[in-house]
Amino acid sequence: MNEDEIKEINDLLSSPKNIVIVPHRNPDGDAIGASLAVYQYLINKGHHAMVVSPNDYPEFLHWLPNSKEVFKYDMQNRQSQAAIDEASILFLLDFNALNRVGDDMQHKLETFVGKVIMIDHHQQPDDFADYLYSDISICSTCQMVYHFIEKLDDLALINKDIATCLYTGIMTDTGSFRFPSTTSTTHRIIANLIDNGANNSKIYNNVYDTNSYGRLQLLGRALSNLVVIDKLKTAYIPLSQADLDEFNFQKGDTEGVVNYALSLKGIIFAVIFIEDTDQEIIKISLRSKGKFSVNKFAREHFNGGGHDNAAGGKSFVSLDSTISNFLRILPDYKKELLNSYEE
Ligand code: 5GP
Ligand code: MN
Protein backbone atom coordinates (compact mmCIF):
# COMPACT_ATOMS: atom_id res chain seq x y z
CA MET A 1 0.00 0.00 0.00
CA ASN A 2 1.46 3.37 -0.98
CA GLU A 3 1.26 6.76 0.74
CA ASP A 4 -1.74 7.88 -1.33
CA GLU A 5 -3.69 4.78 -0.43
CA ILE A 6 -2.87 5.22 3.26
CA LYS A 7 -4.12 8.79 3.02
CA GLU A 8 -7.35 7.64 1.33
CA ILE A 9 -7.91 5.01 4.02
CA ASN A 10 -7.22 7.63 6.70
CA ASP A 11 -9.86 9.85 5.08
CA LEU A 12 -12.33 6.96 4.84
CA LEU A 13 -11.87 6.21 8.55
CA SER A 14 -11.99 9.85 9.67
CA SER A 15 -15.76 9.79 10.32
CA PRO A 16 -17.89 7.02 11.90
CA LYS A 17 -18.79 4.20 9.46
CA ASN A 18 -20.53 0.84 9.48
CA ILE A 19 -17.76 -1.66 8.90
CA VAL A 20 -17.83 -5.44 8.52
CA ILE A 21 -14.73 -7.56 9.08
CA VAL A 22 -14.46 -11.00 7.49
CA PRO A 23 -11.90 -13.79 8.10
CA HIS A 24 -11.65 -16.91 5.94
CA ARG A 25 -13.85 -19.98 6.48
CA ASN A 26 -12.71 -22.21 9.37
CA PRO A 27 -10.74 -19.28 10.78
CA ASP A 28 -7.51 -20.08 12.59
CA GLY A 29 -5.81 -18.06 15.33
CA ASP A 30 -4.35 -15.61 12.84
CA ALA A 31 -7.62 -14.99 10.97
CA ILE A 32 -9.80 -14.56 14.05
CA GLY A 33 -7.05 -12.76 16.01
CA ALA A 34 -6.65 -10.25 13.18
CA SER A 35 -10.43 -9.81 12.86
CA LEU A 36 -10.97 -9.16 16.58
CA ALA A 37 -7.97 -6.82 16.69
CA VAL A 38 -9.28 -4.77 13.76
CA TYR A 39 -12.75 -4.86 15.37
CA GLN A 40 -11.46 -3.41 18.63
CA TYR A 41 -9.28 -0.88 16.79
CA LEU A 42 -12.22 0.41 14.74
CA ILE A 43 -14.44 0.62 17.84
CA ASN A 44 -11.68 2.63 19.55
CA LYS A 45 -11.75 4.97 16.55
CA GLY A 46 -15.51 5.48 16.96
CA HIS A 47 -16.85 3.24 14.19
CA HIS A 48 -19.66 0.70 14.30
CA ALA A 49 -17.86 -2.55 13.53
CA MET A 50 -18.91 -6.20 13.30
CA VAL A 51 -16.95 -9.37 12.68
CA VAL A 52 -18.84 -11.77 10.40
CA SER A 53 -17.07 -15.13 10.20
CA PRO A 54 -18.21 -17.62 7.53
CA ASN A 55 -18.51 -20.25 10.30
CA ASP A 56 -17.38 -21.08 13.82
CA TYR A 57 -13.80 -21.57 14.99
CA PRO A 58 -12.22 -23.96 17.48
CA GLU A 59 -13.04 -23.81 21.19
CA PHE A 60 -9.39 -22.99 22.03
CA LEU A 61 -9.93 -19.55 20.43
CA HIS A 62 -13.28 -18.76 22.09
CA TRP A 63 -11.58 -17.05 25.05
CA LEU A 64 -10.27 -14.23 22.81
CA PRO A 65 -11.49 -10.75 23.87
CA ASN A 66 -14.85 -9.91 22.22
CA SER A 67 -15.16 -13.43 20.76
CA LYS A 68 -18.84 -13.38 21.82
CA GLU A 69 -19.44 -10.48 19.43
CA VAL A 70 -18.51 -12.53 16.35
CA PHE A 71 -21.42 -13.35 14.02
CA LYS A 72 -21.35 -16.67 12.16
CA TYR A 73 -22.64 -16.33 8.61
CA ASP A 74 -23.89 -19.92 8.48
CA MET A 75 -25.71 -19.85 11.85
CA GLN A 76 -26.78 -16.17 12.02
CA ASN A 77 -27.46 -15.72 8.37
CA ARG A 78 -30.13 -13.01 8.47
CA GLN A 79 -28.22 -10.73 10.85
CA SER A 80 -24.97 -11.31 8.97
CA GLN A 81 -26.52 -10.43 5.62
CA ALA A 82 -28.11 -7.30 7.10
CA ALA A 83 -24.75 -6.22 8.52
CA ILE A 84 -23.09 -6.60 5.12
CA ASP A 85 -25.96 -4.67 3.46
CA GLU A 86 -25.56 -1.80 5.90
CA ALA A 87 -21.76 -1.62 5.77
CA SER A 88 -19.84 0.87 3.66
CA ILE A 89 -16.42 -0.68 4.32
CA LEU A 90 -15.40 -4.33 4.29
CA PHE A 91 -12.16 -5.66 5.75
CA LEU A 92 -11.09 -9.07 4.39
CA LEU A 93 -8.42 -10.62 6.58
CA ASP A 94 -6.03 -13.56 6.18
CA PHE A 95 -7.30 -14.68 2.77
CA ASN A 96 -6.93 -13.38 -0.76
CA ALA A 97 -9.41 -15.33 -2.90
CA LEU A 98 -13.12 -14.84 -2.36
CA ASN A 99 -13.86 -18.59 -2.57
CA ARG A 100 -12.07 -18.98 0.79
CA VAL A 101 -15.26 -17.81 2.57
CA GLY A 102 -17.42 -20.59 1.09
CA ASP A 103 -20.05 -20.43 -1.68
CA ASP A 104 -22.94 -18.76 0.19
CA MET A 105 -20.95 -15.95 1.66
CA GLN A 106 -18.91 -15.50 -1.50
CA HIS A 107 -22.10 -14.73 -3.48
CA LYS A 108 -23.12 -12.18 -0.86
CA LEU A 109 -19.72 -10.47 -0.81
CA GLU A 110 -19.70 -10.27 -4.62
CA THR A 111 -22.71 -7.94 -4.42
CA PHE A 112 -21.00 -5.58 -1.94
CA VAL A 113 -20.82 -2.02 -3.29
CA GLY A 114 -18.66 -0.21 -0.69
CA LYS A 115 -14.90 -0.05 -0.25
CA VAL A 116 -12.98 -3.28 0.29
CA ILE A 117 -9.71 -3.39 2.26
CA MET A 118 -7.80 -6.68 2.12
CA ILE A 119 -4.88 -7.51 4.42
CA ASP A 120 -3.24 -10.85 3.75
CA HIS A 121 0.05 -12.76 3.51
CA HIS A 122 -0.82 -15.60 1.10
CA GLN A 123 0.50 -15.95 -2.44
CA GLN A 124 -1.20 -14.80 -5.66
CA PRO A 125 -3.97 -12.43 -4.44
CA ASP A 126 -7.17 -12.02 -6.45
CA ASP A 127 -8.01 -8.62 -7.85
CA PHE A 128 -11.07 -7.89 -5.69
CA ALA A 129 -10.11 -5.28 -3.12
CA ASP A 130 -10.03 -1.50 -3.55
CA TYR A 131 -7.08 -1.41 -1.15
CA LEU A 132 -4.79 -4.42 -1.08
CA TYR A 133 -2.10 -4.82 1.55
CA SER A 134 -0.43 -8.08 0.51
CA ASP A 135 2.99 -9.26 1.65
CA ILE A 136 3.92 -12.93 1.45
CA SER A 137 7.12 -12.40 3.40
CA ILE A 138 5.31 -11.48 6.62
CA CYS A 139 4.66 -14.33 9.05
CA SER A 140 1.05 -13.52 9.86
CA THR A 141 -1.87 -11.29 9.02
CA CYS A 142 -1.76 -10.17 12.67
CA GLN A 143 1.73 -8.72 12.16
CA MET A 144 0.40 -6.95 9.05
CA VAL A 145 -2.51 -5.52 11.06
CA TYR A 146 0.08 -4.11 13.47
CA HIS A 147 1.93 -2.51 10.52
CA PHE A 148 -1.40 -1.25 9.15
CA ILE A 149 -2.26 0.45 12.46
CA GLU A 150 1.29 1.85 12.50
CA LYS A 151 0.93 3.25 8.96
CA LEU A 152 -2.27 5.01 10.09
CA ASP A 153 -0.27 6.47 12.97
CA ASP A 154 -2.54 4.85 15.53
CA LEU A 155 -0.19 2.67 17.59
CA ALA A 156 -1.39 4.57 20.67
CA LEU A 157 -4.82 2.92 20.21
CA ILE A 158 -3.40 -0.57 20.83
CA ASN A 159 -4.88 -1.63 24.17
CA LYS A 160 -4.70 -4.91 26.04
CA ASP A 161 -7.47 -6.55 23.97
CA ILE A 162 -5.87 -5.64 20.63
CA ALA A 163 -2.43 -6.68 21.90
CA THR A 164 -3.83 -10.02 23.07
CA CYS A 165 -5.51 -10.76 19.72
CA LEU A 166 -2.45 -9.80 17.67
CA TYR A 167 -0.12 -11.78 19.92
CA THR A 168 -2.33 -14.85 19.53
CA GLY A 169 -2.33 -14.69 15.72
CA ILE A 170 1.42 -14.13 15.49
CA MET A 171 2.08 -16.97 17.93
CA THR A 172 -0.17 -19.47 16.15
CA ASP A 173 0.94 -18.62 12.58
CA THR A 174 4.65 -18.80 13.47
CA GLY A 175 4.40 -22.11 15.33
CA SER A 176 5.25 -20.18 18.50
CA PHE A 177 7.93 -18.06 16.81
CA ARG A 178 9.88 -20.93 15.24
CA PHE A 179 9.05 -20.77 11.51
CA PRO A 180 11.54 -19.03 9.19
CA SER A 181 9.07 -16.18 8.59
CA THR A 182 9.65 -15.08 12.22
CA THR A 183 11.99 -12.07 12.07
CA SER A 184 13.58 -9.64 14.48
CA THR A 185 10.77 -7.24 13.50
CA THR A 186 8.27 -9.88 14.61
CA HIS A 187 10.02 -10.10 17.98
CA ARG A 188 10.09 -6.30 18.34
CA ILE A 189 6.36 -6.16 17.67
CA ILE A 190 5.79 -9.00 20.14
CA ALA A 191 7.74 -7.01 22.76
CA ASN A 192 5.49 -3.99 22.12
CA LEU A 193 2.38 -6.15 22.41
CA ILE A 194 3.58 -7.51 25.77
CA ASP A 195 4.26 -3.92 26.89
CA ASN A 196 0.67 -3.09 25.88
CA GLY A 197 -0.83 -5.83 28.03
CA ALA A 198 -0.58 -9.15 26.14
CA ASN A 199 0.10 -11.88 28.71
CA ASN A 200 2.34 -14.25 26.74
CA SER A 201 2.22 -17.16 29.18
CA LYS A 202 -1.55 -17.02 29.64
CA ILE A 203 -2.16 -16.78 25.89
CA TYR A 204 0.00 -19.87 25.27
CA ASN A 205 -1.86 -21.77 27.98
CA ASN A 206 -5.27 -20.76 26.66
CA VAL A 207 -4.43 -21.93 23.14
CA TYR A 208 -2.22 -24.98 23.67
CA ASP A 209 -2.85 -26.33 27.15
CA THR A 210 -6.61 -26.75 26.96
CA ASN A 211 -6.76 -30.15 25.21
CA SER A 212 -9.63 -32.52 25.83
CA TYR A 213 -8.90 -36.19 26.57
CA GLY A 214 -10.49 -37.10 23.22
CA ARG A 215 -8.17 -34.77 21.34
CA LEU A 216 -5.07 -36.39 22.81
CA GLN A 217 -6.47 -39.87 22.10
CA LEU A 218 -7.11 -38.79 18.49
CA LEU A 219 -3.53 -37.53 18.29
CA GLY A 220 -2.44 -41.01 19.44
CA ARG A 221 -4.46 -42.57 16.62
CA ALA A 222 -3.03 -40.12 14.09
CA LEU A 223 0.52 -40.95 15.18
CA SER A 224 -0.11 -44.67 14.87
CA ASN A 225 -1.58 -44.13 11.38
CA LEU A 226 1.59 -42.27 10.30
CA VAL A 227 3.28 -43.60 7.15
CA VAL A 228 6.90 -42.71 6.36
CA ILE A 229 8.43 -42.80 2.89
CA ASP A 230 12.09 -42.28 3.72
CA LYS A 231 13.36 -42.32 0.16
CA LEU A 232 11.16 -39.35 -0.74
CA LYS A 233 11.63 -37.58 2.63
CA THR A 234 7.85 -37.65 2.97
CA ALA A 235 5.46 -38.67 5.74
CA TYR A 236 1.68 -38.69 5.74
CA ILE A 237 -1.21 -39.36 8.10
CA PRO A 238 -4.62 -40.65 7.04
CA LEU A 239 -7.51 -39.97 9.43
CA SER A 240 -10.85 -41.54 8.58
CA GLN A 241 -14.25 -40.31 9.72
CA ALA A 242 -14.39 -43.48 11.88
CA ASP A 243 -11.18 -42.37 13.64
CA LEU A 244 -12.69 -38.93 14.27
CA ASP A 245 -16.01 -40.34 15.50
CA GLU A 246 -14.31 -42.79 17.87
CA PHE A 247 -12.70 -39.90 19.78
CA ASN A 248 -15.63 -37.48 19.70
CA PHE A 249 -13.93 -35.12 17.22
CA GLN A 250 -14.47 -31.40 17.82
CA LYS A 251 -13.56 -28.58 15.47
CA GLY A 252 -9.86 -27.78 15.81
CA ASP A 253 -8.87 -31.20 17.23
CA THR A 254 -6.68 -32.01 14.22
CA GLU A 255 -5.01 -28.60 14.04
CA GLY A 256 -1.23 -28.92 14.28
CA VAL A 257 -1.23 -32.72 13.98
CA VAL A 258 0.51 -32.59 10.59
CA ASN A 259 3.51 -30.93 12.28
CA TYR A 260 4.28 -34.17 14.15
CA ALA A 261 4.90 -35.84 10.78
CA LEU A 262 7.20 -32.97 9.79
CA SER A 263 9.10 -33.28 13.08
CA LEU A 264 10.57 -36.65 12.02
CA LYS A 265 14.30 -36.47 11.38
CA GLY A 266 14.98 -36.32 7.66
CA ILE A 267 11.37 -35.61 6.65
CA ILE A 268 10.79 -32.41 4.66
CA PHE A 269 7.25 -32.98 3.33
CA ALA A 270 4.31 -33.89 5.56
CA VAL A 271 0.64 -34.30 4.72
CA ILE A 272 -2.51 -35.13 6.66
CA PHE A 273 -5.64 -36.43 4.92
CA ILE A 274 -8.80 -35.99 6.97
CA GLU A 275 -12.04 -37.57 5.84
CA ASP A 276 -15.18 -35.42 6.20
CA THR A 277 -18.25 -37.46 5.27
CA ASP A 278 -20.60 -34.51 5.96
CA GLN A 279 -19.00 -32.28 3.35
CA GLU A 280 -18.01 -35.28 1.21
CA ILE A 281 -14.43 -34.11 0.97
CA ILE A 282 -11.00 -35.11 2.14
CA LYS A 283 -9.43 -32.06 3.84
CA ILE A 284 -5.71 -31.96 3.23
CA SER A 285 -3.02 -30.03 5.14
CA LEU A 286 0.48 -29.90 3.71
CA ARG A 287 3.72 -28.73 5.33
CA SER A 288 7.32 -28.62 4.11
CA LYS A 289 10.82 -27.57 5.07
CA GLY A 290 13.02 -25.59 2.71
CA LYS A 291 12.39 -24.89 -0.96
CA PHE A 292 9.74 -27.52 -1.74
CA SER A 293 6.57 -25.47 -2.26
CA VAL A 294 3.44 -27.07 -0.85
CA ASN A 295 1.49 -24.05 -2.14
CA LYS A 296 2.39 -25.13 -5.67
CA PHE A 297 1.74 -28.81 -4.93
CA ALA A 298 -1.68 -28.04 -3.40
CA ARG A 299 -2.63 -25.78 -6.31
CA GLU A 300 -1.55 -28.28 -8.94
CA HIS A 301 -3.13 -31.38 -7.44
CA PHE A 302 -5.50 -30.69 -4.57
CA ASN A 303 -7.67 -27.60 -5.27
CA GLY A 304 -5.89 -25.53 -2.69
CA GLY A 305 -3.00 -23.22 -1.93
CA GLY A 306 -1.46 -21.23 0.90
CA HIS A 307 2.20 -20.55 1.58
CA ASP A 308 5.39 -22.23 0.36
CA ASN A 309 5.81 -24.18 3.60
CA ALA A 310 2.17 -24.48 4.75
CA ALA A 311 -0.81 -25.04 2.51
CA GLY A 312 -4.21 -26.67 2.45
CA GLY A 313 -6.44 -28.28 -0.11
CA LYS A 314 -9.20 -30.80 -0.66
CA SER A 315 -10.07 -33.86 -2.67
CA PHE A 316 -13.48 -35.06 -3.82
CA VAL A 317 -12.77 -38.80 -4.05
CA SER A 318 -12.53 -41.34 -1.21
CA LEU A 319 -9.77 -41.32 1.39
CA ASP A 320 -8.13 -44.40 -0.19
CA SER A 321 -8.32 -42.98 -3.72
CA THR A 322 -6.96 -39.62 -2.53
CA ILE A 323 -3.95 -41.33 -0.98
CA SER A 324 -3.43 -43.52 -4.08
CA ASN A 325 -3.45 -40.38 -6.23
CA PHE A 326 -0.99 -38.72 -3.88
CA LEU A 327 1.36 -41.71 -3.97
CA ARG A 328 1.18 -41.79 -7.76
CA ILE A 329 2.09 -38.09 -8.11
CA LEU A 330 4.78 -38.03 -5.43
CA PRO A 331 7.69 -39.68 -7.33
CA ASP A 332 7.44 -36.90 -9.97
CA TYR A 333 8.77 -34.55 -7.27
CA LYS A 334 11.65 -36.77 -6.19
CA LYS A 335 14.38 -34.36 -7.25
CA GLU A 336 12.71 -31.34 -5.60
CA LEU A 337 12.04 -33.32 -2.42
CA LEU A 338 15.61 -34.55 -2.09
CA ASN A 339 17.10 -31.11 -2.78
CA SER A 340 14.69 -29.01 -0.73
CA TYR A 341 16.45 -28.70 2.58
CA GLU A 342 19.93 -29.15 4.00
CA GLU A 343 20.07 -30.42 7.56
P1 5GP B 1 -4.25 -25.53 7.06
O2 5GP B 1 -3.53 -26.72 6.54
O3 5GP B 1 -3.79 -25.18 8.44
O4 5GP B 1 -5.73 -25.60 6.89
O5 5GP B 1 -3.80 -24.32 6.14
C6 5GP B 1 -2.47 -23.98 5.90
C7 5GP B 1 -2.39 -22.69 5.13
O8 5GP B 1 -2.95 -22.87 3.82
C9 5GP B 1 -3.18 -21.56 5.76
O10 5GP B 1 -2.45 -20.36 5.55
C11 5GP B 1 -4.48 -21.55 5.00
O12 5GP B 1 -5.01 -20.25 4.97
C13 5GP B 1 -4.07 -22.03 3.62
N14 5GP B 1 -5.14 -22.86 3.03
C15 5GP B 1 -5.78 -23.90 3.62
N16 5GP B 1 -6.69 -24.45 2.79
C17 5GP B 1 -6.64 -23.73 1.64
C18 5GP B 1 -7.35 -23.79 0.38
O19 5GP B 1 -8.22 -24.64 0.17
N20 5GP B 1 -7.02 -22.85 -0.55
C21 5GP B 1 -6.05 -21.92 -0.34
N22 5GP B 1 -5.77 -21.05 -1.32
N23 5GP B 1 -5.38 -21.84 0.81
C24 5GP B 1 -5.65 -22.71 1.80
MN1 MN C 1 -2.35 -16.39 8.43
Range 203-215 average pLDDT? 97
Among candidates 88, 193, 98, which has minimal Cα distance to 149? Answer: 193
Report residue 342's pLDDT band, with 50, 70 and 90 as the boundaries: confident
Task: Note the pLDDT tens digit of each residue in 307-328.
Answer: 999 999 999 999 999 999 999 9
Question: Which atom of ligand 1 lies closest to the CA of 173?
Answer: 10
Protein residue closest via CA to atom 18 of ligand 1: 304
Q: Which ligand is nearest to the CA of 295?
A: 1
- The pLDDT assigned to 343 comes to 77
Task: Note the pLDDT tens digit of each residue in 20-46.
Answer: 999 999 999 999 999 999 999 999 999
Q: Which ligand is nearest to the CA of 313?
A: 1
Q: Does this model's pTM top 0.75?
A: yes
CA distances from 46 to 40, 43, 150, 248 (A): 10, 5, 18, 43
- The pLDDT assigned to 199 comes to 98
Q: Domains in the chain, ordered, with CATH?
A: 3-208 (3.90.1640.10), 214-339 (3.10.310.30)
Residue 285 Cβ contacting ligand 1 at under 6 Å: yes
Contact 243, 205 (CB under 8 A): no
Protein residue closest via CA to atom 14 of ligand 1: 312
Range 206-211 average pLDDT? 97
Task: Note the pLDDT tens digit of each residue in 211-264.
Answer: 999 999 999 999 999 999 999 999 999 999 999 999 999 999 999 999 999 999
Among candidates 299, 293, 328, which has minimal Cα distance to 313? Answer: 299
Report residue 1's pLDDT band, with 50, 70 and 90 as the boundaries: confident
Handedness of CA 47, 96, 270, 263 (dihedral sign): negative
> CB count, 10 Å around CB of 202?
11
Task: Note the pLDDT tens digit of each residue in 129-169.
Answer: 999 999 999 999 999 999 999 999 999 999 999 999 999 99
Residue 307 Cβ contacting ligand 1 at under 6 Å: yes
Question: Which atom of ligand 1 lies closest to the CA of 95?
Answer: 12
CA gap 334, 332 in Å, rounded? 6
Residue 101 Cβ contacting ligand 1 at under 6 Å: no
